[in-house]
Each structure stands twice: as C-alpha cells, then as structure tokens.
A = this chain, B = another copy of it.
C-alpha cells in the first residue's frame, strides 16, 4: 500500500469521498459497539464459578492457623492469602498485606495516608507546599486521577519500548525533593502492553531520590496476564522488590496487585507488598483504619486457587478467551491500515489493551467519529495526566469485553475513522 502522505491530493480526495460514503452507510445502521472497557468478559468471569462455592459451610471458614475467618481480626489478612499473593508478586508473605477487593483502593489509600500521616515518619504531604509525581505516558487514567484529586503536580515522562525514559526519571527524582512518587505499570503496561526491561528495573532500584519519602508505586496489575501459554512468548519482569534490596533501597517501592482480572473483577482480593519498614508503618495505620478486611473472601481465593500454580493455570483459560480478541483487532489494523503510515500500534503479549498511535492531532477526531458511528472508545487524552495528550495521538483499544465477531465490525469502524481523519489532516496541511 502506498502511504497516504505519498498520494496525490486528488487521489486522497477521491478516497475520502469513498470512505465517507462507507462511514455514512455504517452510521445509518445504528450499530452499538464498545472498545473502551478494560474489564473481563462474562465468559472470563465464568471461569471462576468454583470460587463462589469454595467456602460454603461453617467447616470451610477456618484458616490454617485456626483463625475463624467469619469473625473480626487479622487486619493484615490471613497468612495463606498473603502467601498466595506474595508468591504471585515474588515477595515473602511476611511483606504482604491483603486488603479487600480493589488494588486501586490500596493505592488511593497509600496516597491519602502519605498526605495525612507522611511516609515512615516524614512530614505529611498535606503540610508541604508542593508534591509532584512522575507519570509515564501514556499511562493508566485512574492512577493519574488519584494524584490529581490530591492536588499533586504531575509530570509527564515519555514511555519507550524499554519502559519510562529513565534518564529523565533519574534526573527528576534525584534533583527535586518535591518528587514523591512515580506511577508504574511495569508489566504489559496500560495502555501500551510494554514490559520494563531488566535495565529499566535495575535503574529504578538504584534511584537516588532527593526525597527520603519518595516511593515507586509499582502497580503490577498484569503480573500473570500473558496472552500466550508458550513461555517464549511471555514477557519476563525483573523482581523490583529484590532489586531494591540488592541496591540498598529496600524501602523505595510499594508493589500492588490484585486478582481482579484473575478471579472476579468486582469481588477479588488485592494486596500490597513492601519492605518491613513500610509494612510496619502501614500496619500501624491499618490498626486504626479497620478491624480487618473480608477474610472469607481471602479464604475462598486460597481454597479455589490452592497455590500460585493454580493461578497460572487459571490465566491460561483467560488467555484462551482473550487471544482471539486481540488477534482480531490486530489483524484488522494490519489489513486496513498496514503500510498507510497513518498510525502505529503494538502487538502486546499480555495485559488488556492495544495502543494505537495516530497522526498527531487526530486522536480526538477519530474517537469522536467512532462514537457517532456507534463505537465507544476510551476518551482520547485519558491516558495522560489532566486528560491532556499534547500530541492528541494516543488511543486505547480495549478488546476484552466483545466477541471476535463484534470486534471485527468495531475494528472496521475504527480503521475507517482513522483513515478519514488522517486524510483530513493531510489535506488540511496541503491547503
């Protein structure tokens, strides 16, 4: 295919007429598709049906140490749940606290706690004139929303195929005491599906922060969320917890994970892992905050998965359902846009998203056009702090919630919008 930029204005205008005709035909059909939702499909949730009955009698309600999970207590969670989550994160059970169902809530809580009570003895952030966070972009909108909500100044750090631009991270972290944190999705990142390279992880572990209360918010949301069973097709992430220890920076990282996309998105369990010093500080706070999280649900997960191997087996079932969806979208992108040089996309080996990078200035237009034709996409700009994508080029595609048939049609609408918006841009530049 000849790249659009190399085609004549007449050719582009004719093509535009043709594509717009098709677009209007589709629009008239009143279709309804959604590629905005990064959530598991009903079929994926069905995989965990056994979880519902994993604790179904009084006899089932006791932890290995005899703890009655129906009653109060154990604010850090039952040991076997801490071990299950710890094994998944590569962190000893003693360094893990299991919460309720949402890791986002633990992260929010961590920021809130730092604002009111500081970090392991530091000045509470609410008493500081300025708190800054580094935000690798594109990234996860809900991370950025949390820090925005607390009035944190967010600084964009560009993502590279190896992870965040570490030259920039090192400079900002070491020079500015107001930089207190960085949001990371280190494996199959949201939205690009990038896994941080070993060198990136080591450079993170060896940061020399100006602020003693600087922390890496390591949201390992997709820690076992491979799309392919073959290990050679799975990304490997270095263990930040161990690397930080080796580097003499054991306290610098909080790792978060949950079973939201392993068991039930709305009724899983979530955990934080960190150094003893951090865990002790969190425990103190927890002692005031709650009498304990839902231990029955922790026990359900332990009984259902048995151990980390059980989780890995479960993930193969998810992969079998997700793979065709990803491939459908990727094939459509290649078929309709390959060689046109009006956008690029990645082929992630895990996670929940495909990231599409349009020509600069086109993302909003594409998402708007898609919506008018019945296809809901994640709002353009959502992957940037303050919803401001400086290039207006980042579009997040979430293929999990639809069937391949739906995705086939939805992708057709999407690529049509990309082509029209791109031609409009090229024509405008030539005018």
- Chain A residues near B (Cβ < 8 Å): 39-40, 42, 45-46, 48-49, 52-53, 55-58, 60-61, 68-74, 100-102, 104-105, 108-109, 112, 115-117, 124, 126-127, 142, 145-146, 149-150, 260, 264-267, 285, 288-297
Contact = CB atoms under 8 A, between A and B. Distances in A.
Determine how many copies of this chain the complex contains.
Answer: 2
A73 B297 contact: no
B288 A146 contact: yes
B100 A294 contact: yes
A115 B102 CA distance: 23
B127 A266 contact: no
Contact of A297 (B58, B150, B267, B290): B267
A265 B104 contact: no
17 contacts: A45-B68, A46-B58, A53-B53, A70-B264, A70-B265, A70-B266, A70-B267, A71-B264, A104-B290, A109-B289, A115-B116, A146-B288, A149-B288, A265-B291, A267-B294, A267-B296, A294-B294
A321 B187 CA distance: 52
Count chain B CB atoms within 10 A of each CB in A49, A72, A117 and give the residue with the most: A72
A267 B285 CA distance: 20
A429 B294 CA distance: 51
A73 B260 CA distance: 12
B100 A40 contact: no
Given A56-B56, A297-B297, A71 B290 contact: no
A77 to B, nearest CB: 11
A60 B45 CA distance: 13
Contacts of A100: 100-101, 293-294
A297 B109 CA distance: 22
Contacts of A267: 69-70, 294-297
Given A52-B56, A53-B56, A101 B293 contact: yes
Contacts of A58: 45-46, 49, 52
Nearest to A146: B288
A112 B110 CA distance: 12
Contacts of A60: 52
Contacts of A72: 39, 260, 265-266
A291 B115 CA distance: 21
Contact of A116 (B126, B288, B297): B126
Contacts of A101: 100, 292-294
A105 B105 CA distance: 12
Contacts of A266: 68-74, 291-292, 294-296
